[in-house]
Structure 1
């Protein structure tokens, strides 16, 4: 891929919108959480798109797959943290239910892209 070609990937575009959605949820956290769980949520969410971009800049399929795995892990980390936020009543169950399908779709897309690089 050429530089910035990752921007054309559907999974990158969906993950970018997902990060914006997650940042919207962050605003619902109480002020005392801004430097703990909320900060962790933001870092993990941003890591999803960052690792897609970094991975797609690599030349070997093994390296690309490695960064896609990291991206997938960050996606699951964020999801877990959002579940904790819901249990702590920082976000509602309905809010979590709205983001779940987006997370699942990105997870499937990352898995598919990784599989295509492993062939």
Structure 2
């Protein structure tokens, strides 16, 4: 099976791992959150990978624009995980894991954006 170039990017692979974790955790959110926080968190996490893939292979300025959108979605996930913690939907260790993964993803995206500026 042939791969697309963006699938080789570590930042893309890391974003897929985040999506897996978001889906795993949100399965346990209250049912009344299905159209609220659950949906928002899943869409924000998916947006990261989707924007990385959509921008890859474009011109550097265009790819940077998509990466900025992905970075904004990382920030959105930070807020979602904060709400989830405050509402006791996730445990402290899961919260910490999310925060660390989001911080790492943010750094990876920012580094790629800086690389594309060269």
Q: Which runs of 4+ in 1 moved over 3 A?
A: none
TM-score, normalization: structure 1? 0.93
CA distance in 2, matches of 1:40, 1:24: 14
User: What are the equivalent positions in structure 2 for 1:71-110 lying under 5 Å apart?
Assistant: 71-110=70-109
- The offset of 1:29, in angstroms, is 0.6
Could you list the per-position Cα deviations for residues 58-116 of structure 1 after superposition, in whole angstroms to 9, with x for gaps in the alignment?
1x211100000000110110121111111011112221012211111111110000111
- 1:48 corresponds in structure 2 to 48
> Which stretches in structure 2 are left out of the alignment for 5+ residues?
none
- 2:22 corresponds in structure 1 to 22
- 2:60 corresponds in structure 1 to 61
Q: Which moved more, 1:90-99 or 1:68-77?
A: 90-99
- 1:12 corresponds in structure 2 to 12
CA distance in 2, matches of 1:68, 1:4: 17
CA distance in 2, matches of 1:38, 1:18: 14
CA distance in 1, matches of 2:86, 2:108: 28
Q: How many residues align?
A: 116
CA RMSD of aligned residues (A): 1.1
> Which stretches in structure 1 are left out of the alignment for 5+ residues?
none
